[in-house]
Amino acid sequence: MNHPHRQDPAFLRGTTQRRLGRRDAFRLAGLSAAGLALAACGVQGKGTAKPTSSAQAQSEVEKYWSGKTKNGHVDFANWPLYMDPKQPELKQFTKQTGITVTYKEVIQDNPSWFAKIQPQLAAGQSIDYDLMVVTNGLHFTQLVQLGYLVPLDHSKLPNFAANAGDRYKNESFDPGNVYSIPWASGMTGIAYNPKYVDTPPTSMADLWNPKYKGKVGMMSDSQEIANFGLFALGIDPDKSTEADWEKAAAKLREQRDAGIVRKYYDQAYIDPLAKGDIWLTMAWSGDVFQKNVSDGTDLKFVLPKEGATIWTDNMMIPKTATNPVDAITLMDFFYDVNVAGRLAEYINYVTPVPAAKDVIAADAAKATGEDKKLLDAVAASELVFPTEDDYARLRSYKNFATPQEQKKFESIFQAITTA
């Protein structure tokens, strides 16, 4: 199969911007403040808060899904570049089920998306979409706490039950997948250029090594940089306390004040790494894979021994959806092994379906030339299919109990990059 977009460096580097938008971008202070203010003021949506027991959860499921039937259409809101523009998966879905899909790339970042849909959901009004994709983090938590999401009926998700990796059935931000199932994941680790770094980094300590003074890149995002400061101290971010945040901030200030950090990057770190302006940097797994494929570079990506970050973009149904049965049918369709494999071939991020690797390998075996080379690279990449050892070292972002806790966290770590 032909994927000419993979050979276009500008297109591939555009996916870095997609990743930037998918984060909970705290520096978008106005939008974040709006979301926090809504939560702090106790804005109530249609529905109830997250159930506190499995019995309550099951009761909510039965209450919602009782009498719901297929209508034959889904309106799907997603991020840019998260599906082949020709939408082969959606065409296959319509052919198999008779359900048509309107697919729009309307989500640019979590804060602005939440700000757009919150007033409608609070009023019990349709947001014009039956299915949407949101990253784990602050805004996902707000959607759950405000009662804006449909509790999923797992009897309607047989492919997910059969084919999802075990770790994707036990996410800390949504235990038991009550409200969401993953679309795709990515990792934040250390990338380095072997032209300038002769000893491969294995530890967070390498980002603090004086011999790389002025040649280290760090991220400016509060959650990302906080995780690395916490990892450097051996602390699990999701279990961290305010005292831990202060210690991690001190560790990051030490790195900054020693002149080790060349720059705190929003997203444009991959070209400076390739050119040698920086020698090693915090990095997203998808960027490194795509840069090597598009430009023929030999950049390396490692997960430090202390740990690294995994983030997940998740499918969910808003409470005011017009076509929830059709939406959950589409959600489960993406957990068909063949569909998951073809999707991963295009987007090159971590798939929640481990067996998709065999599909990609089989497609590579049938392909020729450049297509074969690209598909072989995807199937063999630990950036798309992390090993069990990799997964064991991956941790999520901090889940905040209150808006006040999140604001304190943000103020501590923003001071590192804005001083």
HEC profile of 20-72: HHHCCCCCCHHHHHHHHHHHHCCCCCCCCCCCCCHHHHHHHHHHHHCCCCCCC
In tens digits, what is the pLDDT along the chain, a chain of 419 residues?
A: 333 333 332 233 233 444 443 333 332 323 333 333 333 233 333 334 454 456 777 889 999 999 999 999 999 999 888 998 899 999 999 999 999 999 999 998 888 899 999 999 999 999 999 999 998 887 898 899 899 999 999 999 999 999 999 999 988 889 999 999 999 998 999 999 999 999 999 999 999 999 999 999 999 888 889 999 999 999 999 899 999 999 999 999 999 999 999 999 977 899 999 999 999 999 988 888 878 877 889 999 999 999 999 999 999 999 999 999 999 999 999 999 999 999 999 888 899 999 999 999 999 999 999 889 989 989 998 888 998 888 889 998 888 888 788 889 989 999 999 87
Count the alpha carbons within 13 Å of 344 in the hemisphere toward its beta carbon: 37
Cα 415 to Cα 31, 128, 140, 412, 418: the distances in Å are 19, 39, 25, 6, 5
192-310+395-417 shares the fold of 54-185+311-336+345-352: yes
pLDDT score of 49: 43
Amino acid at 341: G
Going by the DSSP 8-state scheme, the letter that residue 399 receives in this structure is: P
User: In CATH, which of 3.20.20.100, 3.40.190.10, 1.10.10.60, 3.40.50.300 is domain 192-310+395-417?
Assistant: 3.40.190.10
Element containing residue 181 per DSSP (H, E): strand 181-192
What count of other Cβ atoms lies within 10 Å of the Cβ of residue 411?
13
Give me 210's structure tokens: 């004086």
pLDDT score of 37: 30
User: In CATH, which of 3.40.190.10, 3.40.50.620, 3.30.565.10, 3.40.50.300 is domain 54-185+311-336+345-352?
Assistant: 3.40.190.10
pLDDT score of 108: 83
pLDDT score of 290: 78
pLDDT score of 3: 33
pLDDT score of 56: 72
Q: How far is it, in rounded angstroms, from Cα 150 to Cα 321? A: 9
Each domain of the chain, given as residue ranges in start order, spans 9-34, 54-185+311-336+345-352, 192-310+395-417
User: Please, which residues have CB within 8 angstroms of residue 354's CB and are 6 or more apart in sequence?
Assistant: 165, 385
Q: How far is it, in rounded angstroms, from Cα 254 to Cα 259? A: 9
Give me 308's structure tokens: 């690294």
- What values do phi and psi take at 148, rounded to 5? -95, -5
Q: How far is it, in rounded angstroms, from Cα 312 to Cα 315? A: 10
Q: How far is it, in rounded angstroms, from Cα 178 to Cα 152? A: 6
Q: How far is it, in rounded angstroms, from Cα 147 to Cα 63? A: 14
pLDDT score of 53: 57
